[in-house]
Structures are given as structure tokens and as C-alpha cells.
Amino acid sequence: MATATYPPPPPYYKLYKDYTTNPSSAPEPPPPIDGTYVCFGGHYTTDDVLPSLEDQGVRQLYPKGPNLDFKKELRSLNRELQLHLLELADVLVERPSQYARRIEEISLIFKNLHHLLNSLRPHQARATLIHVLELQIQRRKEAVEDIKRRREEVQMQLKESLRILDGC
């Protein structure tokens, strides 16, 4: 069985030779990426903006605007999806050659559902963060109460010990 040794370290390891004696001798890390960049052939951006359905070339099935009732629209799209799935089953039984149009309609509904759900992600992240922080606060308050309780127990034991020692 042939085995290979570890490959040699990359050449930039020499930049850190004095790091143990002088940590400030190491090169500065690269600045954060801002804007667009390419990674493994894909183009990405650091802007955290959800592209609209029109930008993706998809027809939007729900109304536009800032005062969108997400719950109502999600329910509406879900009902529409159920109806289209039933129609697809009917088409597959009655007219199998016409199923492609129904599949495209179902795909459009799924894309709209997916986009609506993705637009709720920032709200979900905020709510999750608030919940985690509230749990941390609760745990810390419980820890403080536990410390206070134990301190009082120890003070009582010390007073009892001093009383016993003074009584001897």
C-alpha cells in the first residue's frame, strides 16, 4: 500500500515566522468584500436584497405593495395550489397530453409561495434573535437568583458556625 506524505505548506507561511515573538509582524487580513464577487464561477453580491419576481422573469400572482397581508396571500396561494394539483390529476386521467401546461402553472405557484416565504425571512430572523436574547436574559436572572440564594445559605451557615464557636 502506497502512502503519500503531507503536502508542503503554502509559501505564505513564511510571512508568520516571527509571529510567536512579535504578533504584530503578521500581515493584515484582507478587507471585507463589498459589492459583487465571483466564487467557483458563480456571481454573488454582498447586498442582502431579495430580487423581485419580475427580475427573475416570473409572473407575480399576489398584489404588490408594502401593506401586503402575508398570511392571506399564503393561504390564497396554497388553496390555488391545491386546486391546480386536483386539476392536474384530472388532466392526467382525461387528457394526458395537456399536463405540461398544468405543471407550468403549479411551478409558477410554487415560485410565488417560495418568494413570499423568503420575503418573511428578515422578520423571522429578528423574531428568533429576540427569542434567543430573552432566553439568555431569563437564564441570567435565574443564575443571579441562584447565587443570591446560595449566598444567603452560606451566610446563615457562617452565622450558625460563629454562634457554635462562640458558645464553646
Over residues 7-39, the pLDDT tens digits come to 888 888 778 778 778 878 788 888 888 889 899
Residue 5 lies in a domain: no
Distance spanning both ends of the chain, measured CA to CA: 80
* Count of alpha carbons within 13 angstroms of residue 130, beta-carbon side: 6
43 DSSP assignment: E
Residue 155 lies in a domain: no
Coil vs helix vs strand at 37: strand
Residue 76 lies in a domain: yes
Residue 113's domain spans which residues? 69-119
Residue 96 lies in a domain: yes
CA distance 6 to 123: 47
Residue 6 lies in a domain: no
The number of domains in the chain is 1
Coil vs helix vs strand at 60: coil
Alpha helix (H) residue ranges in 3-120: 70-94, 99-119
Low-confidence ranges of the chain (pLDDT < 50): none
Residue 48 lies in a domain: no
Residue 132 lies in a domain: no
Residue 141 lies in a domain: no
- Tell me the residue type at 115: H
Rounded (10°) CA dihedral 107, 109, 113, 116: 110
CA distance 84 to 113: 14
